[in-house]
Each structure stands twice: as structure tokens, then as C-alpha cells.
Amino acid sequence: MSDGDRIRTSYHHGALRQALIEGARALLAERGAAAFSLSELARRVGVSTAAPYRHFADKDALLDALADEGYVAFHAGLEEAARAASDPGDRIVRLGEVYLRFAEEAPALFEIMFRDRPGRPSGPVAFESLVTAVEQAQRAGALPSAQPPAILARTVWATLHGLAVLAGQGGFAKLGLGAPRDLLAAESLAAFLRERPAQEGPDANRRTAGG
């Protein structure tokens, strides 16, 4: 039995939506959102061009489903990094490393996650990880406390997102300002953290070697 035959047989057991999600994930990584096509997806999965519309109203609905998946993985990575931190300042840097790593490893998914997605709740849940980390760092004196945690977290988030986009587009390399991913996060977030130079502390070698 061919792969296409196996997929078609499994649809009788309600697996069409999952097959579309899995195929869409691969197609997005290969082509990006701009060149993503439901007809191409249907061809790859081995179904009619009408089949995807049984589960998704249009291309954007399917991309939203992929973005939701991305936020689940993103949030899990942030929470794991937060648990592994040695102190509140280290937690901020580790979250920054996760942010940049996610953008580097899944650039097409990263792009659609941050587009305008009305009514999709996953993004704010992931952002709460950063707000919590900022609040803890403020209480510990690792971050200035003049601003509310959510406002400072917004600034840190914007910084990380800018770093991710510039690194992904080669902007830093063009200016001779590139750095390994983990070191880039540590060096940039040192501008926020009090008395925490980017290359000091027990994790300095790990960050310097990161890429």
C-alpha cells in the first residue's frame, strides 16, 4: 500500500484534519506563508482540492491553526527555560535565548505567529511567561522597578523580536555586529539587567559557545 493509500484509508477514522496539519507544517517550512497554497497541500496529501475545506474555511484558517501549534511549543520552551534558570536575571536571558532559537529554527512559523490574528488567544498566554519573569526580576532587583512589569516586558519583547528579525534577515552580519544566538541575547539584555555583564556568571561559556 502506498503512502497515499494509507492516508486515504485513515481519513475514514477522522485523520484528515491531522494529515492536513502535518502536511501544512512541512509545506510552510519549505515555501513560507506567501507561497503557501491549499491546492498544493491537497496534492501533497493526496486528496481533492476541496478536501481541506472540510476542516478549514480558507488558507488563513489553516495558517492560524499552525500558529496556534507554534505558540504551544513556544510557550513550553519559555516555561522550560524559566524553570532551568539559576536566578531571576538568568531567567530573563534564558527566555531571550529561547525566543531567538525559535525564530532561527522555524522562521516561517515564527512569521505567521506574530501577524494580526483577531480572536486567537494563544499569543497572550506565551507573553505571560515573559511578564512573570520580568516581575520576578524586578522584585529581586535584577531589573529596574520604575515601570509596571507588563510595560517593561513589552520593551524586552520588542527588543527580542527586533533581534530575531535582524538576525534572520542578515542585518547584523552586514554591519559586522553578528554574534552566536545565545551570546546575542545575553549581550542585548544586559542593557536592561542591573550589574549583570553579558559574559559573566556560571553560564558564560555556554552562551559564548551557543550558535
Nearest to 153 by CA among 181, 183, 133, 139: 133
Domain boundary pick from 20, 41, 56 = 56
Look at residue 110 in the predicted model and tell me its pLDDT: 95
- Same domain assignment for residues 45 and 97: no
Give residues with Cβ within 8 angstroms of 24, minimum separation 6.
36, 41, 62, 63, 65, 66
Q: How many residues does the chain have?
A: 211
- Same domain assignment for residues 52 and 84: no
- Same domain assignment for residues 178 and 200: yes
Query: Contact, 32 vs 15, CB < 8 A?
Result: no
Query: Contact, 41 vs 27, CB < 8 A?
Result: yes
Grid coordinates in use for 59? 488558507
CATH code (residue 101): 1.10.357.10
Rounded to two decimals, what is the model's pTM? 0.81
CATH code (residue 45): 1.10.10
- Same domain assignment for residues 26 and 86: no
- Same domain assignment for residues 171 and 129: yes
Range of the domain at 187: 61-209
Instruction: Give the count of domains, the chain.
Output: 2
- Same domain assignment for residues 20 and 97: no
pLDDT in tens, the chain (211 residues): 444 444 455 555 468 999 999 999 999 999 999 999 999 999 999 999 999 999 999 999 999 999 999 999 999 999 999 999 999 999 999 999 999 999 999 999 999 998 876 666 666 788 999 999 999 999 999 999 999 999 999 999 999 999 999 998 888 888 888 888 889 999 999 999 985 444 444 454 444 434 3
Nearest to 160 by CA among 104, 83, 81, 76: 104
